[in-house]
Structures are given as C-alpha cells and as structure tokens.
C-alpha cells in the first residue's frame, strides 16, 4: 500500500516497497502519526542490507511516503534523528525518526513586526514570504486552501514561524496542515478537516 523513498539532492532511493517479494526493499516497522495543527511524525528501522542505509543524513535527507492505491503523497518531510542500534540477534540497524513538512516552519523566526491583513490568506502570504526568503527551495511553503474567514492583526514576538501561525490560530480557529502537490508544499487552513489524528502501522492497518 505504502512506498517509502528517501531523497538526497533530488536523487531517489526506495527503501520500502509494498510487496511480499523479499527481493524488494523493506523497512522494519513504519508508524506514521498524522494530526491537524501539529507536525506529522514517521519512524522506521533500516538494516545494513538496505540501499538507503548509508544515505541518511539528519535534517538533510528528505522522506516521502506514497500511497500506491492512488499515487498520492501521504507524508513529505525530512529525517530528524538517526540512532544506530543493535537488535537481539546482533544485527546493526538505524532507528530513523522523521518530521513532516510543517516542521520546516520551525527553521525560521519572525522579527518583532506586525501583520495586518483583511483575510487569512493575506496573513499567510505575508508571513510565509518571510519564511521562504530564509530557506532553500525544498523548505518553502505556499498558501494553499483557506476556508477560515477572519481579519488578522498580529504582532510577532520573535517566535518561530510555526509558533506565530499557531498563535493566530488560537484566536481565530480552524486547523492547519501541509501537503505536497507536484513538488511544492502548500499550507491549508480550513475551518474543518475530515480527519483529526491517524496512526498507520505496518502489519496493523498497513499492507
């Protein structure tokens, strides 16, 4: 059902393919936790026989989970932490933790400036332009679908871009999440999403 790929300099390496063929690449465990207005998390174990074992770099390697039923991207983010461990059989593996694209908004801080916008899209356009000016192309986030209707008047207090956006959300409502379409990341701010928190685990609700 789900394919996992890692990317370095846009070069893709498939580390998990949804098949029963032992010759195909597989990871050990794949819990994915998705939530609204929170950074998605993904973790997996990669053994030394994986093609991606030596291609994992913290905060550099991008990770994507593809749903092969409809070829949509279920998760898009980066490797956050790598711990090398040994299992009970003496085999070495890497315990990999990843964060979703919303986490990129923690890479930048907003200065003590004020944003005044007639609508939420206008506010996002302003604050994301500041974020995008400070990061590389792969971490830039664009305004997506917005259904929350409100004027926004907000003064930043030198917090991260994500913290500033969440502070506005506390006052006007709705939920946010980041999705990838055609290689670009979009931030949606909707009054209501169809889902709240979903956990996907290999061997449980994942085939």
When the pLDDT of each residue in the chain is averaged and rounded to a whole number, the result is 92
Residue 195 has a pLDDT of 53
pLDDT value at residue 205: 39
pLDDT at 199: 52
Backbone angles phi, psi at 155, to 5 degrees: -110, 120
- Interatomic CA distance for residues 38 and 33, integer angstroms: 10
- Would you state the pLDDT for residue 22? 86
Predicted local confidence at residue 204, as pLDDT? 39
* Helix/strand/coil for 30: coil
* Structure confidence at residue 197 as a pLDDT band (50, 70, 90): very low
Separation CA 85–CA 91 (nearest Å): 8
Cα 27 to chain centroid distance, Å, stands at: 19
Enclosing H/E stretch for 170: helix 161-172
Closest to 107 measured CA to CA, from 134, 80, 125, 83: 134
201 pLDDT more than 60: no
Which pTM value belongs to this model?
Answer: 0.90
The model's pLDDT over 76-131, given as tens digits with 9 standing for 90+, comes to 999 999 999 999 999 999 999 999 999 999 999 999 889 999 999 999 999 999 99
Partners of 189 in the beta sheet?
146, 176
pLDDT in tens, 128-167: 999 999 999 999 999 999 999 999 999 999 999 999 999 9
pLDDT confidence of residue 192: 83
- Cα 11 to Cα 52, 53, 55, 62, 130: the distances in Å are 11, 15, 10, 10, 28
Point out the least confidently predicted range of 135-144, 178-187, 198-207.
Answer: 198-207
What is 166-205 written as a DSSP string?
HHHHHHH--EEEEEEETTEEEEEEES--S-SEEEE-BTTT
């Amino acid at each position: 059902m789900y394919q996992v790929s890692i990317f370095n300099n846009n070069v893709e390496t498939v580390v998990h393919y949804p098949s029963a063929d032992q010759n195909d690449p597989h990871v050990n465990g794949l819990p994915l936790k998705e939530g609204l207005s929170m950074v998605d998390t993904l973790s997996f174990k990669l053994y030394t026989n994986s093609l991606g074992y030596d291609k994992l770099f913290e905060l550099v390697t991008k990770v994507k989970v593809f749903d092969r039923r409809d070829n949509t991207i279920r998760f898009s983010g980066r490797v956050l932490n790598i711990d090398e461990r040994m299992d009970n059989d003496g085999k070495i593996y890497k315990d990999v933790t990843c964060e979703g694209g919303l986490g990129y908004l923690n890479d930048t801080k907003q200065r003590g400036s004020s944003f005044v916008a007639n609508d939420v899209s206008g506010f996002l356009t302003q604050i994301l332009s500041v974020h995008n000016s400070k990061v590389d192309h792969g971490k830039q986030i664009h305004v997506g679908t917005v259904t929350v209707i409100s004027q926004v008047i907000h003064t930043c207090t030198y917090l991260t871009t994500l913290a500033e956006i969440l502070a506005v959300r506390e006052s006007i409502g709705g939920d946010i999440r980041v999705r990838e379409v055609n290689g670009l990341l979009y931030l949606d701010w909707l009054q209501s999403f169809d889902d709240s928190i979903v956990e996907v685990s290999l061997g449980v609700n994942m085939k």
